[in-house]
Structure 1
């Protein structure tokens, strides 16, 4: 299916101007002068006012002033004038007074470009109240005196139009894309357009033309820099106006390194050029600590100037800036990153120490692509082992295990810190790159230190040895000599380890401690706060505390989107997807997982790509789309994708729901039961509990309720008790107990579980003759299911007519409704064809139908009432 092209036409809908429009159209006489920067929508608003007033039956005229027409007296208004025998200005004004007797509406666009004679006509119309005027003027441009007099003399009102607020820009983006624009791309378009609707439209058109704006994984993404098309460049050059070469050179220097210290800029291009650029409104200055720095006055100026600059000029500017900055003390923390980036852009051999420091800062700021380029450049410039080591660490952060090259030993003279870093990199390469657990453990065991132990906690966690991980984390956290890096690593992995074991209180305790350490040492451990958040969210997911998990994931996701920080954004998008899927918000889940795949196409950090694909498959399966779910699961199963023992049960539970979506309910239940055994063997009691309850959700509660009851006594979180109560209630047909379980599910944010429980409660209460309770349960089930419009699960189908069927009759009927033959159904369910036909015949009789085609509408797994 083709990707629908965004609706980016020549005219946007009018947004963000409702207040001004209402005020203008309610004015009885005179008119209005609209003043604003180029592209803010003055002409669009003027056209809307004209259209509104035209519906009242008034005659309307449009005057468009241009630079070329400005040389011709009366040129802009010539079409308004009656035939004249004398073209003196006084005669023209007398003729205008005699001609305009019906008080028309006259719009004058770009009135700052009017010739003096035309401006006099416009002023005369206002002064004699011969017409209602709508005049647009570009802010900051010189105007004819007659135009300025319109509002200065009180003949018209003056309305200033600022850039559009964010919510109005969102309306324009929604008009163009609907909900199909990736959030980080939306954030970037906000920033680059700065609320200017004309520039926003031109940016989008340029992005479509250059391919930087493209459709991937169900959404539109801006994938690179703004590359200026001829049309976009013309628009920006028009805004810049005519400037001297020296001034444009100043703009190029600012674009090449903004913000640029003003003293440095004046050193490179001269004070006069800087002053002229600032006076023309092309450059702004602001204080940054004790320095005055210069920026271009609009974010798009820099994008377009950089895009249109000749490659040789761009290299020259970068080199000049780098040389100028290296002549300063470079005391600011980001100076190394800025100079290193400029040296990289200059194409010259850079200072290896600066490049290495820059690569480290880029890594700390989560800009892995830049960090990798800087590290490579540092190595090429002679930074040696340190650059190789940093490059390997960056590749590990990106999950680029196939490209990873671990450097050789740092040498006998290396300090202990370098030896530890090297050993941890070797261990990570063994585990994450090759799946060799024992070899990785041996490397870290030989180090025998807190930092090595902190790193080992992560490997133990992902190897599903949560009890060992938690014990080792506790050891590090109690160590008086542990440094912040060791504490952060131990805490961030210990939190989810405790969660998977069901120790939510312990997870909370570690989280509070680790968060404090990370906050106090953010410069030393820049990833600390994010790692704490990831660990906390995973712990909440493991224990079914989805309300808190969603609040955390969504808050951090929005923060990362605002910063356009791609790596953290991808991580939090994955957590949003996992939480939304567990809640039953399947559209949100699918969009989030697709965003991860689009944001991080070449990343497989922590070997989570397969899990992400499987979770997306599970979301589609729960929505009833078994074909797409199977395709996604096949991708997750690719032999080139490694995964961890921690998340393998997640993948297998997703597989169970793909079976269920295809109608193989018995097979799905059996696979969920096998997954529960896998989780038990792997030491994951909360995962086992979820898997066992999935067996119950698939119609076989009797086979799992005893084990769930045992787990309820072992787990210290509420999850085990709630799942066990629900399973026991299903076995006993106890709608009172099931209602209580639904209350607990809803409180924890497990909305889909709660909806399923209330659907079943409604049926059980109805069957027991408790009609009032059944009605109340039906109402509550409907309210829950309105939150989950896409959910399609067997328990949601166990109401009304489908509830008259046994689980096997319903399974056979569902497969038949999909158009499958009796022979194929028999093969899938390991039954005889005669048995299938018997089940089908009984289903027909109970439902009052005679063919497969009549089954589909009756078996739709939706609303109970």
Structure 2
């Protein structure tokens, strides 16, 4: 068909393909009412991609399959494997095969998203890729979830994603995808009257009278599909479009009338087969059409041919489909309720007899009265379970309610329904169901269901009502068994931790409860983890905090199973590492891990990287801190946007920026903070988020801006107090004192620094005491040397080796100022050596300058280009030397191929080599 008034849209697609060919992913969105030519435009994009030798994947969502999990995604990744002459073995053994396997694993939704991403990375590895998805408004929920996951990561792949959809209604599931600022909209409008005339003329091969142009434009609304059908009708009927009287035949039709007219002219068997195809979607094979339409196979063949000749149906790959959804809707609108129910019943029986997955039967069973299948209740329960697990709780609710209507008596169905209601955004209904199901003799089961009900209250009304509900349950002794009560106590502690005033109120109770727990199960560990976190926040005492954290972590036997549990785990680990137990924390982290045989997951990689970054920063190893923080942030790119991921991304940014500042790279630290600000623009406020302010203050001081540093320090302190926290490990008072010093406010600096030192001494972690003494020496100049000598003494053997190096250099400089040159040399030499091993370039330079000032020869700088490589860069370089491809390295390290490419680029620059061929020699020589 000729293309009219789409030149700008086609040009937009061509420009996007050219940009993607340069390596950056992009999104185009084509939103238009049905029949306006978006499907044709997507076809034009595919033709452009074919000429540019792009790979091409395409999918068409179908209303009949909206409740089939992963239907759209399966079209994208399975269809290439079905082409004739293709050896499917390599693909099935690689990322594509792993993705397909993950789709069948009910417990692997997060892993499925990651594996699908890797499948696209693999499919687009050798050439750029065009992916087109049409009629997105009918896509299934899990496929939409994957697209939402893909969009913020699209720039990492050489992929042009084009989404075609009808204008979304408010609240439509696909609305956020077609209105996202990430993409560019390609507008298309109905055809003008002139183009309607030109399109008809191209079909009938005769000029069109202006009156007919306007009449047909009015009748069809300028919808290209309907214009073509009118043109075909004109040609077959022999009407002369040059005759102005022909217009009278169209003035009263309207766009919907044209579609109905096209369908009404089908022969009876063709209309019946079309109706069956409208209900079956991709299940519309000739054999199934025969069963649903209740006509013979030969009659189906004739009927499909007749409908195809009328441009209503098409057939490809053994499946019969509609030429356009508008025609499908016209067929369905012409069915009487009884006809439609009977067709759905036949479809359900046919699919069940063929062993189709339970979820494919759901739309048919829901459209019929109960009793169509003898085992409908069990099938609907299975379908509801899968639909919820795959991310479509709304469909799960429908299936599970119908399962009960079909006679299901099992409480498991009612429990599944309650959970689906909560997930589907109907928490009040789910809560009521859960409370009813909690009326059981088993105390543990009762507690678990009541805790779930409280979570539903949290989802519906927020933390305070949920906290009140749990307190009422505990006070009323609805659950009497001590072990079972811990289920409610753990949930209460978790909710209180999210609401600072309630966290402060709950502190005495949680602390008393934690003191008698050993960390034997998830509930005890959750309580202990939150208690450790709060003990750290309130600076209860480092030894007491460490004891709680050790029990929470079960000495390395606990490993979080999900993101919610990871929050408590991360809090316990953070508390332990910052309680002068960084070495013990590292050992526990090395010993802990998921159960033997468990599949690698993003959660595992995130937890390991988070552990590494907090320990490395606490111990002052700047290269390791930068490497582990970057690894954490790189892995976050592939992770779903949960509160845990948001928290570790904020923490990773803080440690990365602090490490970069200490290494003498404040500009790079500022870039890291700006990246975080862009990513976190829509996140809710939280403790990890506001603690990024720790790095903001440090950047301001490093850049010589005391006014900005003071504002940032005050903001950090206010946020900490609002969160019920005042730990010296978050040293906002120390930074505020330094800002006062820089601004010449000595008295204010001394007062603030003294308060910070007192809190550090009460906390009792020698790393923090030594760090506070270093700051106090900057403001109490009369006793500067004494404070620094004490700081060095305190920091000997402490976790914070960077603070020890700084204290040594500070002491050497102070002694030099007092003209005690001989005494100054030892601390300066030792401080320079220690700072060099840690990567603290500014400290090394200060020490060397001070040694030069006292007439001493500075120690030789033994650093090489190889030493400049971070741990992550070195790991990537070694894997590259072994011949691993960027994709293989990325998959092994749970990062994107573009991240590997960036690492290698920095390696080449630091080592002065031109590429992989020279890298082997450079690494070997080093």
TM-score under structure 2 length normalisation: 0.48
Write out aligned runs for 1:581-730 (5 A): 581-584=657-660, 585-591=668-674, 593-594=676-677, 597-601=680-684, 604=686, 607-624=687-704, 635-636=715-716, 637=718, 641-646=722-727, 649-656=730-737, 659=740, 667=748, 671-672=752-753, 674-694=755-775, 702=785, 704-713=787-796, 715=798, 718-719=801-802, 721-730=804-813
Match for residue 627 of structure 2 among 551, 572, 584 = 551
Does the CA-based 8 Å contact 2:314-2:321 persist in structure 1?
Answer: no
The SS at the match of 1:708 is: helix
**CA deviation map 1:400-443 (0-9, x unaligned):** 64564333427556766542111223344556532132122234
CA distance in 2, matches of 1:295, 1:232: 37
CA distance in 2, matches of 1:265, 1:537: 60
**CA deviation map 1:205-263 (0-9, x unaligned):** 999xx995999xxxx976xxx999975999xx99xx99978767666999xxxxxxxx9
CA distance in 1, matches of 2:432, 2:605: 33
The SS at the match of 1:199 is: strand
Aligned residue in 2 for 1:741: 831
CA distance in 1, matches of 2:779, 2:164: 50
Write out aligned runs for 1:494-533 (5 A): 495-515=573-593
Aligned residue in 2 for 1:14: 18
CA distance in 1, matches of 2:160, 2:493: 52
Match for residue 564 of structure 1 among 605, 627, 640 = 640
Quote how far apart the aligned CAs of 1:341 are: 0.4
Does the CA-based 8 Å contact 1:540-1:546 persist in structure 2?
Answer: yes
Summarize the Cα distance change of 1:639–1:647 in structure 2 as closer, same or farther, 3 Å threshold. closer
Aligned residue in 2 for 1:855: none
The answer to whether structure 1 residue 341 and structure 2 residue 403 are counterparts is no
Quote how far apart the aligned CAs of 1:510 are: 1.8
Does the CA-based 8 Å contact 1:40-1:163 persist in structure 2?
Answer: no
Does the CA-based 8 Å contact 1:496-1:536 persist in structure 2?
Answer: no
Aligned residue in 2 for 1:803: none
Aligned residue in 2 for 1:420: 486
Aligned residue in 1 for 2:543: 467
CA distance in 1, matches of 2:573, 2:154: 36
Does the CA-based 8 Å contact 2:713-2:736 persist in structure 1?
Answer: yes
Write out aligned runs for 1:293-312 (5 A): none
Does the CA-based 8 Å contact 1:473-1:494 persist in structure 2?
Answer: yes
The answer to whether structure 1 residue 390 and structure 2 residue 452 are counterparts is yes
**CA deviation map 1:605-628 (0-9, x unaligned):** xx4454344544544454455666
Does the CA-based 8 Å contact 1:613-1:632 persist in structure 2?
Answer: yes
Does the CA-based 8 Å contact 2:384-2:399 persist in structure 1?
Answer: no
The SS at the match of 1:502 is: coil
CA distance in 2, matches of 1:629, 1:494: 30
Quote how far apart the aligned CAs of 1:513 are: 3.1
CA distance in 2, matches of 1:267, 1:324: 19
Write out aligned runs for 1:55-66 (5 A): none
The SS at the match of 1:649 is: coil
Summarize the Cα distance change of 1:515–1:46 in structure 2 as closer, same or farther, 3 Å threshold. closer
Aligned residue in 1 for 2:618: 542
The SS at the match of 1:419 is: helix
The answer to whether structure 1 residue 409 and structure 2 residue 473 are counterparts is yes
Quote how far apart the aligned CAs of 1:597 are: 4.0
The SS at the match of 1:562 is: coil
Quote how far apart the aligned CAs of 1:468 are: 1.6
CA distance in 1, matches of 2:480, 2:387: 27
Summarize the Cα distance change of 1:400–1:246 in structure 2 as closer, same or farther, 3 Å threshold. same
Does the CA-based 8 Å contact 1:185-1:221 persist in structure 2?
Answer: no
Unmatched segments (≥5 aa) in structure 2 = 1-11, 24-40, 54-82, 84-121, 131-146, 192-223, 230-262, 264-273, 305-312, 323-353, 405-410, 439-447, 661-667, 817-823, 870-926
CA distance in 1, matches of 2:700, 2:289: 55
The SS at the match of 2:580 is: coil
Summarize the Cα distance change of 1:281–1:441 in structure 2 as closer, same or farther, 3 Å threshold. farther
Write out aligned runs for 1:180-191 (5 A): 187-190=150-153
**CA deviation map 1:507-553 (0-9, x unaligned):** 22222333256x67899x99787556545543333222343344334
CA distance in 1, matches of 2:432, 2:293: 32
**CA deviation map 1:703-725 (0-9, x unaligned):** 63122122223526644543432
TM-score under structure 1 length normalisation: 0.50
Does the CA-based 8 Å contact 2:557-2:592 persist in structure 1?
Answer: no
Aligned residue in 1 for 2:841: 755
